[in-house]
Structure 1
Amino acid sequence: MNRIQLGNTVFEGANNVYLLDGPTTGLVDTGVAFPHVRDELRSGLADHGVAFGDIDDVVVTHWHPDHAGLGGEIQAASGADVFVHAADAPLVDGSVPPLMADPDLQRKTFEAWGLPDDARAELTEFFASVSVDLSGSPADVTELSDGDELTVGGVDLEAVHLPGHTAGLTGFAFDVAEADEAAAAAETTEAGEAVEAGTTDSAAEGLFAGDAVLPTYTPNVGGADVRLDEPLAAYARSLVRVIERDFAVAYPGHRDRIDEPAVRAAAILDHHRTRTRRVMDVLDDLGPATPWEVSAELFGALNEIHILHGPGEAFAHLDHIATAGVAERDGDRYRLVDPDVDVNSLFPATPLERTDLDAGDG
């Protein structure tokens, strides 16, 4: 198993593509379809003696172009099977356009978030500037569901549905000892480093995490996929699932390996508790406010893709407290009605927290 890291200055930073090269040859994610990224992937694969035409399987963690963008082109070159969760499949096979290519969905979303005209214009211009070749060619996909099993590059993978960042985001669990054997045989190269699982415990599980858990940033929720109902609640449940599985190691879609993914997932969940309290404080100070106005208080001035992600994140938190009855929505504005609620009660407890509660009850 080898990591090939690709350039990405538009989204969450350098992308990871994982090459599984055993009895068959597979990829976990592909990178965005920008010409220079395509060249980087070709070069990284060539360092391991692999070309696009040699790929048997492509496993896509989610529909975002920086993860799925080159899937269709690789499939055209090799006939590879492209696997993706059913909820994200329409955005990978091209049957449903993403937000950036759907004017009606843009209008509905931007109105709900209270985006002013100048922000809408800047975001639309940004979409236009990066959309050429961004998503690449559509792929014929094989749909996955939670719990499905497949073997890619000699590694057995289990689909673990982790929605929130996107509706269909799926991690892939695998046996660490099996991956260690592949890593031991791999050569470290300048373009692709051999992935070290960090443990030989035969009972330990690893996770190809996509953007469900990232080592540096907190994955965007709300703006990254506007199709989700109650996106923050969905993401909180996904984080708890990562914690409960207690994976030994996670290989994220961006940046470096995460050696304690349960600890990182718990930190992200706590971050969202803190942000929810901050959103409530903003409503308490401002009175009724739109997601755009709340995002300005949270993040300050926004540009480019952050014009989408900032109010989307604010919306996710506002929607979360409105669903819980802590706020009320009137059009594009939210009003705080219960400023004294215990924010912890709005999120699921982690296994450790449940243990503490049980001990306290005794």
Structure 2
Amino acid sequence: MHHIQLSNTAFEGANSVYLLGDGDADAPTTLVDAGVASADVEAELRAALGDRGVAFADVDRLLLTHWHHDHAGLAGAIQSESGADVSVHEADAPLVAQSENAREDLHAAQEAALREWGLPDEEREGLLRFSADHRYLRGDPVDVTPVSDGDTVALGAFEAEVVHLPGHAAGLVAYVVEHEWRREAFVGDAVLPKYTPNVGGADVRVDRPLARYLESLERVQSLDLDRAWPGHRGPIFAVSERAGDIAAHHDERTARVERAVADLAPATPWAVSAELFGSLSGIHVLHGPGEAYAHLDHLAREGVLRETPDGYVPA
């Protein structure tokens, strides 16, 4: 297995792509994730694969952890040259395939969320312009093979099990592999080594986003992994501990959100976001209030807060 790092100036830093099976005549040449569809990143990926004697045309299989452009953007370009089979969870498959209905539904849900979260018109319109300006990063449409929780994907001498871990994205999955004495997984953005994946704004389709993500963290802990390969940065060795740390971080943030509502009530997600993160720009104008919303929604469902037409108030 070879870990390839690709640049990504539009979203969350360098992306990780993983090359499997090169040099093994009995295994399909496989990539896990693909990077954003920019000319610079495509050139980086071609060069990195070329160093291993692999061209886009040699790729037999692509395993996508979720639909976000920095993970799926180049899948279409790779598939157009190789005919590779592209696996992605059924919840994200229409977005990777670039179904017009799925795209329209997502954009409508995002616009509705931005209004419900209380974003000022200037911020909302700026975010929509940012999204339009970076739409090319999603790349070309892909002929996808939808997968579900519990499915397996053949990788030569071993298989990868699909484990559904929603929260950051509705269809985020890990691909769990057992070989020799190790149990490892390619986890996308389910667990990251240095910062916490955004919940609430990164995929507005997710219902109960914080609760779903906390459930996914518990499932990661139950997998008993020796090592995880994330979508950004390097490997995670103490996987269960890292998942627990992220859950504890969200407990602390929930307490901060509760205190913010006590001070600001009635408090919109946008107002709480300002308390948590300060001034925001670019994609973070979506992620900040989305994260605040995820915690506000969680507290409201727990009966700690109550949602009113003007914002959240203590219950």
TM-score for the superposition, normalised by structure 2: 0.95
SS of residue in 2 equivalent to 1:10? coil
Aligned to 2:40: 36
Residue 157 (structure 1) aligns with: 160
Matches within 5 A, 1:121-270: 121-131=125-135, 133-152=136-155, 154-177=157-180, 202=181, 204-270=182-248
1:118 CA displacement: 1.2
Q: Match of 1:175, SS?
A: strand
CA displacement at 1:105 relative to structure 2: 2.8
Partner of 1:8: 8
- Cα deviation per residue 1:23-79 (whole Å; 9 max; x = unaligned)? 220100001101100000000110010001111100000000100111111111111
| 1:350 corresponds to | none
- Gaps of at least 5 residues in structure 2 are none
How many percent identity over aligned positions?
54
After superposition, what is the alpha-carbon deviation per residue over 1:166-202, rounded to whole angstroms, capped at 9, x for unaligned?
Answer: 001000100142xxxxxxxxxxxxxxxxxxxxxxxx2
* Pairwise CA distance, 1:152: 2.7
2:76 counterpart SS class? helix
Task: Give the equivalent residue in structure 2 for 1:196.
Answer: none
In structure 1, stretches of 5+ residues that fail to align are 178-201, 338-362
Counterpart for residue 18 of structure 2: 18
CA contact (8 A) 1:86 1:168 kept: yes
Which is further off, 151-160 or 111-120?
Answer: 151-160
Cα shift readout 1:199-233 (whole Å, capped 9, x = no counterpart): xxx2x310101000000110000000000110100
C-alpha contact (below 8 Å) 2:65/2:172 kept by paired residues: yes
Query: Is the alpha carbon distance of 1:119 and 1:54 closer, same or farther for their aligned partners in structure 2, counting shifts above 3 Å?
Result: same
Distance 2:104 2:15 in 1: 21
- Please report how far the alpha carbon of residue 125 of structure 1 lies from its aligned counterpart in structure 2 after TM superposition: 2.1
Is the Cα contact below 8 Å between 1:112 and 1:331 reproduced in 2? Answer: no
Tell me the distance in 1 between the aligned counterparts of 2:87 and 2:150.
13
User: Following TM superposition, by how much is the alpha carbon of 1:279 offset from its aligned partner in structure 2, in angstroms?
Assistant: 0.3
User: Does the alignment pair 1:72 with 2:76?
Assistant: yes
Counterpart of 1:315 (choices 285, 288, 293) is 293
Contact kept, 8 Å, 1:20 with 1:153, in 2: the verdict is no
Alpha-carbon distance between aligned partners in 2 of 1:282 and 1:98, rounded to the nearest angstrom: 35
Change (3 A) 1:332 1:110: farther
Shift of 1:97: 6.4
- Whole-Å Cα distance in 2 between the matches of residues 331 and 4 of structure 1? 48
Q: Distance in 2 between matches of 1:243 and 1:102?
A: 31
Displacement of 1:100: 9.3
> 1: CA distance between counterparts of 2:219 and 2:106?
33
Give the TM-score, by structure 1 length: 0.83
- What displacement does 1:238 show? 0.4
* 1:286-345 CA-partner distances (Å, limit 9, x unpaired): 1111000000000001111110000000000011111111111123511111xxxxxxxx
Structure whose alpha-carbon radius of gyration is higher? 1
Match of 1:117 among 112, 118, 121: 121
Q: Which secondary structure state, in structure 2, belongs to the residue aligned with residue 173 of structure 1? A: strand
Displacement after TM superposition at 1:129 (Å): 2.4
Shift of 1:153: 5.5
CA distance in 1, matches of 2:80, 2:45: 16
SS class of match (2:168): coil
Shift in CA distance, 103/3, structure 1 to aligned 2, threshold 3 Å: closer
- Compute the RMSD of aligned alpha carbons: 1.6
